[in-house]
Structure 1
Amino acid sequence: MLRCAVLDDYQGVALGLADWSRVRATSFRERFADQDSLVAALLDYEIVVVMRERTPFTASLLARLPNLRLLITSGMRNAAIDLDAARSRGVTVCGTGSGSTPPVELTWALILGLTRHLLPEANTLRSGGPWQSTLGTDLYGRTLGLLGLGKIGSRVAGVGRAFGMDVVAWSENLTRERAAGVGVRLAPSKDALLAGSDVVSVHLVLSDRTRGLIGERELSLMRPSSYLVNTSRAAIVDQEALVAALKADRIAGAGLDVFEVEPLPADHEFRTLSNVLATPHLGYVSELNYGTYFREAVADIDAFLAGTPIRRLA
């Protein structure tokens, strides 16, 4: 019976969400401090299941795991796995399904939490402070700007329209016809979207083209009353520039679910800035999604053991 390691199972739920009886499965809840400790833990495992991009599988790591035969990622895309290196070492890489509904819902939780000041108001209520201390920002009639109009962005747009917002979108290859097809306007440019939106929400895939897409100049185009929400990838927004803009109140606030280093360091300013609503990368963390991830990971293992791997990435 092959040994299977399930990494970054922060909540300790993986082994209870699927039938792992065909392998000897072990769940690891804590992140490994460095590659040496990770290699020491995984050296005897033939199968590893990774959660999204929490633990990168680089060429150097793969070279140090000679027993690894099957690597499974949640979702069908994982930029933290060196697929060429895996392929060259004979490691099969497979993926699973992943629903777009949970990140859509979290995006709106962040937008509503920011604009209605839910966290400070709830904390004030708990502490016995003043009854009502802020004025919420109305969404009706305001402009929602979407950077990216793919599967998730399109659904975020639909909710924005239901709130009575004027929804505009931009991405490098977005066409007027595609935007109109989901009932939104195509912004004439990225700069125009940033300057004209009350809420800007990021829904782009991280790539060489989108890394650092929103920097100091772009943030300066936003209104002092506007909000930035990022549930996509942290590196799309220059993190130092964002901290500076928030500290100087050049934008009203930010809703963040993704960070360049995760878990977020204990002393990071995003943990303490009063105009930041931050969550620990919860976009895809839901009962339905996790059930899909781990049941389909087991199905990938079964297919691999039968000699007919499915949902292959490499």
Structure 2
Amino acid sequence: MSSHIHIAILDDYQGVALELADWSNMQSKASIDVYRDTIHDEDQLAKRLEPYTIYITTTGFVNRSIDMVAAAAKGIIVTGTGGYGDPTLEHIWALFFEVARSIAVEDKNVKNANPQWQTLIPIGLSGKTLSLLGVGRLGGKTAKIAKLFGMRVLGWSPNLTKERAEAAGVELAESKEDLFKQADFLSIHLVLAPSTRHLVGKAELAALKPTAFFFNTSRGPIVDEEALLDTLYNKRIAGAGLDVYDIEPLPLNHPLRKAPNVVLTPHNAYISDDNYKAWWSGTAQNVSNYLEGKELRAILNGKE
């Protein structure tokens, strides 16, 4: 091993990686560069990263953004960290509430001295149908909370069985079309894979009621973005809440930024102060272990 290691921290948008962990014990062995921007061009990115031995991406112990087969072929160790809490679940419900109760709109009205005191009627949750496209860990937890508000919960995915649906406490929809047709709130909880890319397209979105709300906190390409844009701009549904996109960061001139009746967040559902502290502390420890020649917990095929 070289006596001096070059480390690149990628996509540290808030510039907090070096503040939330103790990197001091490796200063004599390594130099760290922090990148707060994102390069989409693969050739430019490869050129930027060429001098580095260690690349750090903010993630836990599940990572589907790295080509594990290629990494294994080159003898590259891919490791991860633990997290803390369940910020994605919290964010899912923050988006539900924000969209249903038009909080940002009314906040803007009050601050801008709109003479009309109340402008919109919030949407109540009790008795509404929450349709979950995917009922895994997050989908199941989302369902439990929905029932606290008196919501009916439907679920469907290509592999969801009646037994698994019952175990999660949700009704199994007859089909994907049925899931969308019955939804007052439709929320995606699937992983991105070749089988789920554009699983939601023009036909699925057209099946939603004009009063329905659409949410995606999973991965952007699960949804046909052009079909979603067409749906939003033509106001075929009541609104949407999105945290993920085809291209991230979302280009400044992207039409979603001006789409009507949509709440957008910058793929930060997984972020919280405690989760970041756990991740960055674990990351610093992983780097320290590597520099000291200690064994690392490897991720294989996208999982620990």
TM over 0.5: yes
* Whole-angstrom CA distance in 2 between matches of 1:291 and 1:233: 24
Corresponding residue of 1:144: 130
User: TM-score normalized by structure 2?
Assistant: 0.91
Task: Work out which of the residue numbers 103, 108, 112 in structure 1 matches 2:93.
Answer: 108
Matched residue SS, 2:130: strand
CA displacement, residues 112-132 of structure 1 (integer Å, 9 cap, x when unaligned): 111111121111111111211
Task: Work out which of the residue numbers 25, 33, 53 in structure 2 matches 1:26.
Answer: 33
**How many equivalent pairs are there?**
292
Alignment map for 1:93-132 (pairs within 5 Å):
93-99=78-84, 101-129=86-114, 130-132=116-118
* Whole-angstrom CA distance in 1 between matches of 2:132 and 2:36: 34
Task: Work out which of the residue numbers 152, 159, 163 in structure 2 matches 1:166.
Answer: 152
Per the TM alignment, residue 33 of structure 1 is displaced from its structure 2 partner at its CA by 5.6
Task: Work out which of the residue numbers 189, 194, 204 in structure 1 matches 2:190.
Answer: 204
- Of structures 1 and 2, the one scoring higher in RCO (CA 8 A, sep 6+) is 2
User: Do the aligned partners of residues 228 and 30 (structure 1) sit closer, same or farther apart at CA in structure 2, a change above 3 Å counting?
Assistant: same
Per the TM alignment, residue 108 of structure 1 is displaced from its structure 2 partner at its CA by 0.8
CA displacement, residues 216-235 of structure 1 (integer Å, 9 cap, x when unaligned): 01111110000010000011
Whether contact under 8 Å (1:142, 1:198) holds in the other structure is yes
1:283 and 2:231 aligned:
no
Whether contact under 8 Å (2:130, 2:146) holds in the other structure is yes
Corresponding residue of 1:62: none
* Whole-angstrom CA distance in 2 between matches of 1:183 and 1:91: 42
1:48 and 2:55 aligned:
yes
Whether contact under 8 Å (1:101, 1:152) holds in the other structure is no
Matched residue SS, 1:241: helix
Whether contact under 8 Å (1:100, 1:152) holds in the other structure is no
User: TM-score normalized by structure 1?
Assistant: 0.88
Per the TM alignment, residue 310 of structure 1 is displaced from its structure 2 partner at its CA by 2.4
Structure 1: tracts of 5 or more residues without a match: 52-73
1:244 and 2:251 aligned:
no
Corresponding residue of 2:284: 298
Amino acid at match of 2:51: D
Amino acid at match of 2:87: P
Whether contact under 8 Å (1:100, 1:151) holds in the other structure is no
Alignment map for 1:54-93 (pairs within 5 Å):
74-93=59-78
Corresponding residue of 1:313: 299
Whether contact under 8 Å (2:181, 2:207) holds in the other structure is yes
Whether contact under 8 Å (1:253, 1:276) holds in the other structure is yes
1:9 and 2:16 aligned:
no
Amino acid at match of 1:95: G
User: Do the aligned partners of residues 167 and 48 (structure 1) sit closer, same or farther apart at CA in structure 2, a change above 3 Å counting?
Assistant: same
1:195 and 2:181 aligned:
yes
Whether contact under 8 Å (1:234, 1:259) holds in the other structure is yes
CA displacement, residues 57-87 of structure 1 (integer Å, 9 cap, x when unaligned): xxxxxxxxxxxxxxxxx12232221112222
Structure 2: tracts of 5 or more residues without a match: none
Matched residue SS, 2:193: coil
Corresponding residue of 1:254: 240
Between stretches 243-252 and 174-183, larger displacement belongs to 174-183
User: Do the aligned partners of residues 194 and 99 (structure 1) sit closer, same or farther apart at CA in structure 2, a change above 3 Å counting?
Assistant: farther
Per the TM alignment, residue 100 of structure 1 is displaced from its structure 2 partner at its CA by 6.5
Per the TM alignment, residue 304 of structure 1 is displaced from its structure 2 partner at its CA by 2.5
